[in-house]
A = this chain, B = another copy of it.
Amino acid sequence: MKKFDEDIIAALATPNGEGAIAVIRVSGKECFKQIDKIFKGKNLLSEVKKNTINYGKITFNNQLIDDVLVSIFHSPNSYTGEDSVEISTHGNPLIVQKIIEILLKQKIRLAEPGEFTKRAFLNGKFDLTQAEAVADIIKSRNDSALKGARNQLNGLLSEEIKNIKKSLIEIISLLELELDFAEEDLQFISRNEIVSKIREIIRIFETLITSYRFGRILRDGVNIAIVGKPNVGKSSLLNYFVKENRAIVSEIPGTTRDVIIEEVNIEGILFKFYDTAGFRESDNEIETLGVEKSEKTILQADFVMLIHDVEQELDLQFYNRIVSLTEENRVLLVQNKIDKTIKKLNENEIGISAKTGEGIEKLFKHLMERIGQTKIYTENSLIITNLRHLEILTKGKNYLKNAIYALEINQSQEFISIEIRYTLEMLDEIIGVVTTDEILNNIFNKFCIGK
């Protein structure tokens, strides 16, 4: 691993915008001395005690920029593990900009995205899965996602990885011990025992891998496109969600022809409903644009709710068009206006009334089932939410399967142990024991600046 440079870095740590206060983070060896050049308080920041808050004024060229509070953190007892300060200013973007400009004139450079957390990782404050969890904690939009990220920050994933590593190292050390006694042709562990141990580890890998789909839903929510012909009650259904579930209505800026998103949080799962423009035939250019957007929405949705007026014939051509844009098992045919009909629905048909709310609870139950596996995961289950982890675990699983194959065709120890070694390398990549600049940059570039 490349030794990271010892620059002092600075960035705004709070969201950009107007507020009561804004906080600028600075981190790096003896950053206090640099800040002392522009800070006038009762004492020098380089001389005050750690973990103290110090009132003073930031001035530059004899001009007062702002009166601020400066929090002092001494290495290693800071977020980054380095000497750090947090400058709390009036919450005006112009003031923040000025102060950062002044800081950049004091042997301090602007932090890259995630650089504070990267330094915390490089200084051994936590491992790589925990560093990644910091970004997830900030981005979590519902309780379950937050809980998952929290578990990861607390080291649940790291622990699991370490347990797997321990088992694999046990196997490998016995195998390699056999190599040392190769001439005696000893077996310290039976081949059947290795197979069953490795199969058990593969099962753990598989559980983690299948948790990913649920994890992604936890983190990002379920995207559901609502489609249907005019007047089947698409808007009524969305209005019902808004009214009953305090949905967050987030209209994408633009004309009313754009896609409208409603977010509904049900049992900790975020459902994002995308209201589409409808599929009227039209020569009008703007209308065509609307259709294109609808198609794209369907393509990207986890599920498509096709709303249909129960009293009308199903337009099979329309239905097939929708299915052609996604997969049949992702399309949910919802019969609306059941309050107005005497028609009896089949057991497996979904009928609702967007007006009275009848059937909507059942609709969500059905959705939950389709999302699947919701019941398998409890609050403290370990859930993978990170694509990088998924990819590594999938590779690791394949190496272990290779190992099993090598065992089955009775290959010698080297062939088994090399696959296990590959798996161990993969696991080390997850927790960041082995890593490259490229991997680190990929991870931390996704962070916001200031974290």
Q: How far is the CA of A134 from the CA of B91 in the complex (A)?
A: 10
Q: Are A13 and B138 in contact (CB under 8 A)?
A: no
A400 at the interface (CB under 8 A from B): no
Q: A182 CB to closest chain B CB, in angstroms?
A: 52
Among A140-148, A230-238, A312-320, A388-396, which stretch is in contact with chain B? A140-148
CA distance A92 to B11 in the complex (A): 18
**A451 at interface by CB-CB < 8 Å:** yes
User: Which B residues are in CB contact (< 8 Å) with A51?
Assistant: 52-54
Q: Can you list 23 A-B contacts with CB-CB less than 8 angstroms, sorted by A residue number?
A: A12-B19, A14-B14, A14-B15, A14-B20, A14-B22, A14-B91, A15-B18, A16-B19, A17-B17, A18-B139, A19-B451, A20-B116, A21-B23, A53-B71, A53-B73, A71-B71, A90-B137, A92-B137, A92-B138, A94-B142, A253-B253, A254-B254, A254-B255
- The answer for the CA separation of A14 and B12 in the assembled complex, in Å, is 11
A94 to B140, CA, bound (A): 7
Q: A105-142: contact bitstring with B at CB < 8 Å (1 yes, 0 no)?
A: 00000000000100000000000000000100111111
A95 interfacial contact with B, CB 8 Å: yes
Q: Is A355 an interface residue (CB 8 A)?
A: no
> A150 at the A/B interface (Cβ < 8 Å)?
yes
A52–B143 alpha-carbon span in the complex (Å): 31
Q: A53-B73, A90-B137, A139-B92 are in contact. Are A25 and B14 (CB under 8 A)?
A: no
How many residues in A have their beta carbons less than 8 Å from beta carbons of B?
49
A450 with B19: in contact, given A91-B14, A253-B253 (CB under 8 Å)?
A: yes
Q: Closest approach, in angstroms, between the C-beta of A219 and any C-beta of chain B?
A: 12
The answer to whether A18 and B448 have CB atoms under 8 Å apart is: yes
Q: Say yes or no for A294: interface residue by CB 8 A criterion.
A: no
Query: Is there a chain B Cβ closer than 8 Å to A88's Cβ?
Result: yes
Interface residues as binary, A230-259 with B (CB distance below 8 Å gives 1, 0 otherwise): 000000000000000000000001110000
The 3 tightest CB contacts between A and B, nearest first, are A253-B253, A15-B17, A20-B451
Give the number of times this chain occurs in the complex, counting copies: 2
A266 at the binding interface (Cβ < 8 Å): no
Residues of chain A at the chain B interface (Cβ within 8 Å)? 11-23, 25, 51-54, 64, 66, 69, 71-73, 86, 88, 90-92, 94-95, 116, 134, 137-143, 146, 150, 154, 253-255, 448, 450-451
Q: Are A95 and B137 in contact (CB under 8 A)?
A: yes
Q: Which residues of B lie under 8 Å from residue A54 when comparing CB positions?
A: 51
Cβ-defined contact, A13 with B450, below 8 A: no
Minimum Cβ distance to chain B for residue A255 (Å): 6
Min Cβ gap A413→B in Å is 45
Q: Within 8 Å CB of A154, what residues of B?
A: 64
When the two chains form their complex, are residues A95 and B146 in contact, meaning their CB atoms are under 8 A apart?
A: yes
Interface contact A134-B90, CB-CB below 8 Å: yes
CB of A140 to closest CB in B, whole Å: 6
**Contacts beyond the supplied A13-B19, A15-B17, A92-B139: 20 A-B pairs with Cβ under 8 Å:** A12-B19, A13-B20, A14-B14, A14-B15, A14-B22, A14-B91, A18-B138, A19-B448, A20-B25, A20-B451, A21-B25, A21-B450, A23-B88, A53-B73, A71-B71, A90-B134, A92-B146, A94-B141, A95-B146, A254-B254
